[in-house]
Amino acid sequence: MTVSVLVPSSLTREAEDKREATRKLGYVARAATVFRVDRLVVFPDPGGTRGQFGDGFVETVLRYAATPPYLRKEAWGKRDELEYAGVLPPLRVSPRTGSGSDDSGSLRQGIVTEVGSDGRVRVNCGLQHPISLPAPDGGLSEGERVSIRVSSRRPVRAKFADASPPGYVVEASDLSTELSRDDAGIRLATSRHGEQLSVDRLGDIVAETDTRGMTVAFGAPERGLPEILDVSPPGGDEGGEETERESTALREPDGSRFDLWLNAVPNQGSEVVRTEEAMFAVLACLSLTE
């Protein structure tokens, strides 16, 4: 089962400066980590992206946040998008194997630093020194990211692993592609105009996500999913009868591919729930167990 979260490229459109935009993305990264999201996908919103921080800013900062601290300098160097990366909160990703990131049997992310002519490669995986390992079939290239399973530190015993290291991966894709994936699971659109989440309804939804996984899409400040998709809010602005325009709009490809439009913050006390706040509210509900 896969948990995918979709956020728009216009996610930081209301931020006054790059520092505030970076801090906002730090909260998004924290939410993805806390609730064990597998994939954090940035989808394009050309109509809402002001571009004041450069194309790819949201994706770059989220990728950097997902990179283990011991690899950030080597993986990223200095980039304009990361000018205020120091304000990002630590993620402290919990390992899914072993009792800690440095313990026996831990799964770590590494970067290939050197490819030798003897069929071996050197990998920086956050230990005291880069480690030398036999290159896998197909070979590796310098700078490539790999997963390493460390079974002993003294002496060092490690091998390449097929499994992904703990934490989320960041990808760029469009909504149509993401909603059509075989592992999309139940596809949820978050909106203040969606069906209000109740205790009884939550049980039904969680039971389905437990068996199918889920894809949850969020909007941007002052530009929710109905605006991004150019569809009328499901249920109408006033929660009344569906209008002819709304009925037609929701049959458009992206608007109709969601299984459910969900309002997880009914009776909200603020006129606006920020995307990072909505992520914590929605994912907290959907992570509950019986």
Mean pLDDT of 156-185: 91
Mean pLDDT of 213-235: 88
Give pLDDT tens digits for 112-155: 999 998 889 999 998 888 999 999 888 899 988 899 999 888 88
Is 232 within 8 Å of 250 (Cβ atoms)? Answer: yes
Q: What are residue 171's DSSP bridge partners?
A: 41
Q: Mean pLDDT score of the chain, rounded to an integer? A: 86
Q: Is the pLDDT of residue 105 over 80?
A: no
Q: Is the pLDDT of residue 239 over 50?
A: no
Q: Is the pLDDT of residue 158 over 70?
A: yes
Write the CA distances from 107 to 51, 70, 97, 160, 168, integer angstroms: 37, 14, 7, 10, 14
Model confidence at 253, in pLDDT bands (50, 70, 90)?
very low
Model-level pTM? 0.85
Please state, in angstroms and rounded to a whole number, the distance separating the CA atoms of residues 238 and 224: 16
For 243, other C-beta atoms within 10 Å of its C-beta total: 12
Is 52 within 8 Å of 16 (Cβ atoms)? Answer: no
